[in-house]
Amino acid sequence: MKQCGAEFFGTFWLVLGGCGSAVLAAAFPGVGIGLLGVSLAFGLTVLTMAYAIGHISGCHLNPAVSIGLWAGGRFPANKLLPYIAAQVMGAIAAGGVLYLIATGKAGFDVSAGFASNGYGEHSPGGYSLLAALVTEVVMTMMFLVIIMGATDKRAPQGFAPLPIGLGLTLIHLVSIPVTNTSVNPARSTGVALFVGDWAVSQLWLFWVAPIVGAILGALIYRFIGENSTES
């Protein structure tokens, strides 16, 4: 229960901090933080939570990460469903808080996107379904390689949150124009439910692609990193 509670609040912070920066601060007149600021915000949520709850739950904050770590032999199967449920509930709770804040401004229109992920006409840059699929698979794949490498017992101890947080920042810098960056089914679900309509109808991609990418990344790291000897 404590581990699931940590995952709930950690994912809550990720969605509130990351999506909140996109909804409330990205285009604020005169001082908007833009793509760079939103990318950094997502990275900072993971960095801060990794230090805050990493020793409690491992700080997955992401169903794809939990599944990838299971595929990589780092996480037991019997914890997958409780972790995923906690992550999704935390994301939805954060989406609700963000919705209450955002609707406090006159003229706010949730149908404009609310930081939801999309493809085709709902991609920030108008990218196709195939482009979105490839982007989400590859970015999540690399994220798992980073996570597994940074948390390997042979890696420098105590520094894992830094490359993981910076890795997520880089992923957002590359892929926000394509899909608004998911690599996290819980993050996508937490805001899509408040948009409904197109955001929910396209949500399947942001479950399937990150999970496939996470499994690929875990298997790649097992191949290149597990049981290898130091030179």
The pLDDT of residue 227 is 67
119 Cβ contact list (under 8 Å, min separation 6): 127, 128, 129, 131, 132, 133, 179, 202, 205
Q: What is the pTM of this model?
A: 0.92
The pLDDT of residue 144 is 97
Report the 10 Å Cβ neighbour count for 175. 24
The pLDDT of residue 176 is 96
Cα atoms in the Cβ-side hemisphere of radius 13 Å centred on 23:
31
Residue-by-residue pLDDT tens, the chain, 231 positions: 899 999 999 999 999 999 999 999 988 888 889 999 999 999 999 999 999 999 999 999 999 999 999 999 999 999 999 999 999 999 999 999 999 999 999 888 898 889 999 999 999 999 999 999 999 999 999 999 999 999 998 888 889 999 999 999 999 999 999 999 999 999 999 999 999 999 999 999 999 999 999 999 999 999 998 765 544
The pLDDT of residue 229 is 52
Token pair 């997955």: residue: 60
Domain chopping of the chain, boundaries: 2-224
The pLDDT of residue 102 is 94
Burial class (CB in 10 A: 0-12, 13-18, 19+), 195: buried
CA distance 180 to 94: 18
CA 1 to chain centre: 22
CA distance 110 to 203: 16
Region 2-224: CATH code: 1.20.1080.10
The pLDDT of residue 231 is 41
The pLDDT of residue 115 is 93
